[in-house]
Amino acid sequence: MDTVNTFRFVTHTLIAAAWATGLATSAHAQSTRELDAALLQMSERGDLKDTGAPQVIQKPAQVRYELGAVVDVRAAQRNGLPVLALTPDGPAARVGLKAGDRLVALNGVRLDGTAPPAPLLEQAMQRGAGRVSAEILRGTTPLKLEGAAGVVAVPAYRIEIGPETRGACGFVTAHAGTVPKSQGIFRADITTIDGRSTPLQPVNRHRLPVGRHVLVVREFIDRHRLNSAQLLQIDKMKRFAMAKAYKPLVVDVKPNTSYRIGARLLRDRLDTQSLRENAYWEPVVWEEVPETCP
């Protein structure tokens, strides 16, 4: 691993841990010391040079799709990859996958050949772009399973060494404009961005660097739009699911653009089963407006 990649790995680990998990003060201080040590080593090797402009080490936020299953990828197997365990209530469990099944193909990528299976499985998950289409063997019975993948965020990081500069950015907001309720769009709240919690006190907008970001959104659909039986099912679901009742939204932020976030009520998904599965709404960008990034 070269110097830059080593430093990127160290930096990503420290920053992701500090921001995403809310480390205590002492742990944060330890992380700072380790980052200082990495910078010192780079300086001693002559990797940091004063060119009159900042030296930037960065990696954009990544959107990743997860299966929520432990799959044996130690070696290729002609009859598919064994599923060893499932995350409770995870994506794989929701699509009907079971421990003991064998993954034969996923999102069009064959997993029953002789190629190394680990990179193939990773390729298959990202190729699905949020969907899971699996061909499996359950005993000797072939089955096809369809559903949604889990969406997770790997936060971006950016280290500037030298003079401060300003980069291109955009905004996301759940508090600007008047949501078009006539189109079934209602108010929402952004609870996390790229794995980091938003402030408890609502802010008008969130400034983000250009690129793809994962927002987690909570719906505030007008309760009078639903009948008492529907509201009862939703309340039960939320008490059980808690934060899992929130939903991810991937936003590709472009420069000098503000994205207005809301919750769309899916009126064709108000049956009891859909309400129990939290399938009665979806987070959306309901409007994009120009807004200069200072």
Per-10-residue mean pLDDT, the chain, length 294: 41 40 63 78 64 71 87 90 91 92 93 90 88 92 91 80 65 95 96 83 86 93 96 94 90 96 97 94 97 88
Token pair for residue 209?
């660097």
Q: Give CA–CA dist 276/241, Å, rounded.
A: 10
Neighbours of 65 (CB within 10 A): 22
- At a CB cut-off of 8 Å and minimum separation 6, what does 109 contact? 120, 121, 123, 124, 127
- This prediction has a pTM of 0.59
Neighbours of 60 (CB within 10 A): 15
Q: Give CA–CA dist 266/278, Å, rounded.
A: 11
Q: Give CA–CA dist 105/286, Å, rounded.
A: 36
Is residue 186 a contact partner of residue 262, using CB atoms and an 8 Å limit? yes
Read off the DSSP letter of residue 107. Answer: T
Q: Give CA–CA dist 66/117, Å, rounded.
A: 16
pLDDT at 98: 93
pLDDT at 15: 41
Q: Which residues pair with 214 in a beta bridge?
A: 250
273 Cα distance to chain centroid: 26
pLDDT at 10: 41
Token pair for residue 197?
């919690």
| Pick from 247, 169, 253: nearest CA to 213 | 253
pLDDT at 110: 93
pLDDT at 167: 64
